[in-house]
Structure 1
Amino acid sequence: MRQGSRKKNKLQPGLESKIAGRTVHAINRSHIVLFVIDAEKGISLQDKKIGGLIQKAFRPCIIVLNKIDLLENSFDRRNWGKESRLLIQRELPFLSYAPVVALSAEKKWNYQSLFTAILLVDQERKKCIPTHEVAEFFQRTLHQFPPQPIQGKRLKIYYATQLKDKDSSKAPPCPTFVLFVNNLTLLKAAYKKFLEGKLRQTFSFTGCPILWKWKKAQGKKPLLIQK
């Protein structure tokens, strides 16, 4: 796959912002975004900007590498899945949760893999983990890998649950977890990233970003997860 930025197209003043606005609108209306990338040209700066918009919108995503037939003589098909995932991890690390499907729209190659990926991600985005399983996950994880104390104080998670809404129009766009803690200032980005990795190892959520809502426990402490 060739790398490098595409040549900039000369657009009329204001046209680029209109296109960006339509892209954002389309992303925000989507249950699952099919992010199509030209496999021959590689991942451009514009692709990275669109990937950032998908991340910001917290939308489930499948990355589609189109025109793969133009590269059939330049890669080993047995390693293509691994190579494509490494490419995404390197160029679009914020979308590393998204499955990658290589296909040819012109020659109709590998469409079945795309349909399979869509069904899987749709199932994953609707997955609801019972609260007792969420609690057990955090109890086990925090016991095995407790957060480092900061100035003698340690982060404690009192209660955790997956946000659910029976009204589908109000449901969050991706798996969303609400956690009540003792002190928000003890919550560090590195530990949040670590917890998300462990959560994915346990519950998968293929193709879905995970939205965290961290809150300070007020008044009477909820059910204690971490002593």
Structure 2
Amino acid sequence: MSFTLAIVGRPNVGKSTLFNRLAGKKLALVDDTPGVTRDRRPGDAKLVDLHFQMIDTAGLEESGPDTLEGRMRAQTEAAIDEADIALFLVDAKMGITPADETLAKLLRKRGKKVVLVANKSEARGAESGLLDAYRLGLGEPCPISAEHGEGLLDLRDAIVDAVGEDVAFDDDEEDFDEAETDVDVYDDDFEDDEEELEIDTSKPLRVAVVGRPNAGKSTLINEFLGQDRLLTGPEAGITRDSISVEWEWNDRKIKMFDTAGMRKRARVQEKLEKLSVADALRAIRFAEVVVVVLDATIPFEKQDLHIADLIIKEGRACVIAINKWDLVENRQEHLKYLHEETRRLLPQVRGILAVPISGQMGNGLDKLMQAVIDTHKTWNRRIPTARLNRWLNITTAQHPPPAVSGRRLKLKYMTQVKSRPPGFMISCTRPDSLPTSYSRYLINKMREDFDMPAIPIRIHYRSGDNPFEGRRRRR
């Protein structure tokens, strides 16, 4: 990317709407409620022939540094310092407010290049607000409509004039269409029978951090990064957008997604919280490994189990992080209890790794990341067909399938059809009659014999083709 642009302004002027417009997809949450965005969110932007990095920010509000609004303001100021240029949005429909004047003084004080943008200029009576923007002393305002996509050509010219053509078009021959994609597409078809899929370590490992509100997800990620990158505090439900951050752990690139806390569905009533939960669910689908953060003082509530079950149904690899371990007394006894509860409450993923950590104190983070890497390798396992069929013959000989209606079921052939998560196909007689209990037996036996704990395993059954089907019977 040639330069970095921060989108700033007071609450509810359309910053996230413009962010989504420039990104070409709905990444940031948008609602009529002021103050939806809280964390600063990076993204790749395309404006006509310009490719650049942009940062969506929270609306600037005057408040003390210890309040939530004060911490949001600190995030906005950090985005301004990080960017090369600031895109200052004002509401042309409402006109200039004291909050706009305060932000204009802040931008002048920091000496940043500024492009003044008058959003919502398509509204009736917006001309007076557009003229009123001149008194900010930041040059000629550029009228646009972020919602309808009007005035973007003028915005492009204003950005080029502000940063200069040399900076604006310094692309370094990057392929933008590839860079803007948040989700990499992997091929699950294999031509060889290797024991383990060779993992492309050049691509970042996508890890989503999920859990109930106030479990310590954002604090955990900040400790990994070694900086206050994400907004944190004692208030529950601070995080709304799913924010991605990239860093390295032991020379391995990691792309970690912070998500909004997920409450019980019956308690989620507001539209904004529904959007936040939907964004968190999308992060789970795009992730490779999902870390479920539990509160060590109140672990394994019903919602925790529901979240874990959702991850398993999506086919993601799952690791449990037992946070706030520094608040626990009698740790050995409590850890033994948690491991027993894990085996009892999550039998569908036997051997799931539960790591005690303290996100605030920074304890146990290396063990947690090692568990993530190990689980990811298991999630990519590939077992040769010949070895699978030898195992199937031995397993069915030790414990044959049950007889249904007086006829014994036969399991003939087995092969792995996909990975991520491992999926297998077994050719058998009357697959619809195979009891679920026997299928669970096969899955649990595979976990033990092939060392595949903590990941979902899927086995599909189908009947073998009858070569004589469709032929007329001869006398």
Which residue does the alignment assign to 1:162?
416
Corresponding letter in the other structure for 1:14: K
Q: Deviations along 1:1-32, whole A, 9 cap, x unmatched?
A: xxxxx997975523343233222211111111
Candidates 360, 379, 382, aligned match of 1:106? 360
TM superposition shift of 1:142: 0.3
The structure with the largest strand share of the pair is: 2
Residue in 1 aligned with 2:463? Answer: 216
After TM superposition, the structure 1 stretch with the greater mean CA deviation from structure 2, 111-120 or 62-71, is: 111-120
Matches within 5 A, 1:73-222: 73-76=329-332, 80=335, 82-164=336-418, 172-220=419-467
Deviation at residue 87 of structure 1 after TM alignment: 1.5
The equivalent residue for 1:168 is none
Report SS of the residue matched to 2:358.
Answer: coil
Is the 1:60–1:207 contact (alpha carbons within 8 Å) kept by the matching residues of 2?
yes
Report the more deviating stretch, 87-96 or 62-71: 87-96
> Does the alignment pair 1:28 with 2:282?
no
User: How far off its partner does 1:95 sit?
Assistant: 4.0
Residues 97, 209 of structure 1: 8 Å contact kept: no
Whole-angstrom CA distance in 1 between matches of 2:417 and 2:309 = 24
- Rate the CA distance shift 1:134–1:95 in 2: closer, same or farther, 3 A: closer
Q: Secondary structure at the match of 2:466?
A: coil
Instruction: Give 1 or 2 for the bigger CA radius of gyration.
Output: 2
Q: Of residues 39, 44, 57 in structure 1, which corresponds to 2:301?
A: 44
Which structure would you say has the larger RCO, counting Cα contacts within 8 Å and 6 or more residues apart? 1
Structure 1, unaligned runs of 5 or more: 1-5, 165-171, 222-227
Equivalent position amino acid for 1:186 in 2: S
Identical-pair percentage: 27
Against the structure 1 CA distance between its residues 94 and 141, is the aligned structure 2 distance closer, same or farther, given a 3 Å change threshold? closer
Q: Would the aligned equivalents of 1:104 and 1:110 in 2 still touch at CA under 8 Å?
A: yes
C-alpha separation in 1, matches of 2:346 and 2:385: 32
Name the residue aligned to 1:225.
none
Which residue identity is paired with 1:48? L
Q: What corresponds to 1:15 in structure 2? A: 272
The verdict on how the C-alpha distance between 1:149 and 1:118 changes in structure 2, with shifts beyond 3 A counting, is same
> What 5-or-longer segments of structure 2 have no aligned partner?
1-213, 215-235, 237-262, 469-475
Deviations 1:154-179 (A, max 9, x none): 22112101114xxxxxxx43111111
Residue identity in the other structure for 1:151: S
Equivalent residues of 1:162, 1:178 under 8 A apart? yes
Change (3 A) 1:160 1:211: same
- Counterpart of 2:459 in 1: which secondary structure? strand
- Give the C-alpha shift of residue 115 in structure 1: 2.0
TM-score (normalizing by structure 2): 0.41
How far did 1:141 drift? 0.3
Write the distance in 1 (CA, Å) between the matches of 2:293 and 2:306: 13
The alignment of Structure 1 onto Structure 2 pairs a total of residues equal to 206
Query: How big is each residue's C-alpha offset from its partner over 1:169-220, in whole Å with a ceiling of 9 and x where there is no partner?
Result: xxx4311111111111321110001111111110021221101121111134
